[in-house]
A and B are shown apart, each in its own frame.
Chain A
Amino acid sequence: MPDVIEMHLKLLFDLDNLISDMEEPSYKKIGFQIEEEASLVLIRKRNDLLKKLPQEIAQAYEILKKRYRQAIAPVDSEFCLGCFQKLPTQLSARSQEIVTCPNCGRILYWRKKE
Chain B
Amino acid sequence: MNLASLLSKDRVNLSLKPGKKDDIIKDLVYIIKKGNDAELIVSTLLKREELGSTGIGKGIAIPHCRSLAVEKLEIAVGRTGKPVNFNSIDKKPVSLVFLIIAPPQDPGNQYLITLGKIVQIAKEITKKNLIQKAETPEEFITLINDIEKNLTKRK
A residues adjacent to B (C-beta < 8 A): 3, 7, 10-11, 13-15, 17-18, 21-22, 24, 26-27, 29-35, 38, 41-42, 45, 70, 72, 74, 111-112, 114
Contacts and interface: CB of A to CB of B under 8 A. Distances in A.
A41 B49 CA distance: 12
A45 B47 contact: yes
B40 A10 contact: yes
A38 B51 contact: yes
Contacts, number: 76
B53 interface: yes
B116 A15 contact: no
A35 B87 CA distance: 12
Secondary structure type dominating chain A contacts: helix
Interface of B: 34-37, 39-40, 43-44, 47-48, 50-54, 56, 62, 65-69, 71, 89, 104-105, 109, 112, 115-116, 119
A35 B37 contact: no
Contact of B51 (A7, A42, A70, A114): A42
B54 to A, nearest CB: 6
A1 to B, nearest CB: 13
